[in-house]
A = this chain, B = another copy of it.
Amino acid sequence: MLKRKGLLLVVSGPSGAGKGTICKALLNSNENLKLSVSVTTRKSREGEVEGVNYYFIDNEKFNQLVEADELLEYAHVYGNFYGTPKEKVIENLEKGNDVILEIEMKGAMQVRERYPEGVFIFTLPPSLEELKNRIVGRGTETPEEIHKRLSSAYDEIKLIDNYDYFVINEEVATAVETIENIIKCEKNKVERYRDVILEKFEEEL
């Protein structure tokens, strides 16, 4: 067996595509896949465990991480900071574990800049119908407003161009299988592992 470095999988996509559900199922069935634990300046809530749900840090420490370029991505949400610590991720990858990041699209683009060798996966809803039904069902929007909402959902979908793979979430089990296939497949990419391969054969000369 070749010793191969792990993959950083970045799973993102428009809201409503179900990326959270997919990632949870994926983690449940794949032991070698690790979820990256974020740092946050938010207060810990009851039941949350340090190092499991989050690493809880203060603003000063957070700023230090940002300035030292120690975060793969970060965001400011409702008065608190959230970020993905680079060190832990890299540690896991070096050990040969694959790491998964389930993040918003802006965060995914920050990761792409800092770690372009990641595998960027875009989850999609099977159609816009559900969203349409939900808006129409409320009966509070005019046809123009409905069209505007759908257009902006479509605009989010156009961000697909920033990703390597797409996964249509028709059924969670199928979506999970597709991502498992992507992982296997990326482990046979010449671009990633040509050095490992050539070294292995060179040793035999």
Contact = CB atoms under 8 A, between A and B. Distances in A.
10 contacts: A151-B205, A154-B201, A157-B201, A161-B190, A161-B194, A163-B190, A166-B188, A166-B193, A181-B188, A182-B188
Contact of A166 (B184, B197, B205): B197
Interface residue tally on A, bucketed by range: 35 or more
B128 A190 contact: no
Contacts of A124: 197
A125 B194 CA distance: 15
A184 B189 contact: no
A102 to B, nearest CB: 18
Given A160-B194, A161-B194, 8 more contacts: A124-B197, A127-B201, A154-B205, A160-B197, A165-B185, A166-B188, A166-B190, A185-B186
Nearest to A122: B190
B160 A198 contact: yes
A127 B168 CA distance: 39
A157 B122 contact: no
A167 B2 CA distance: 12
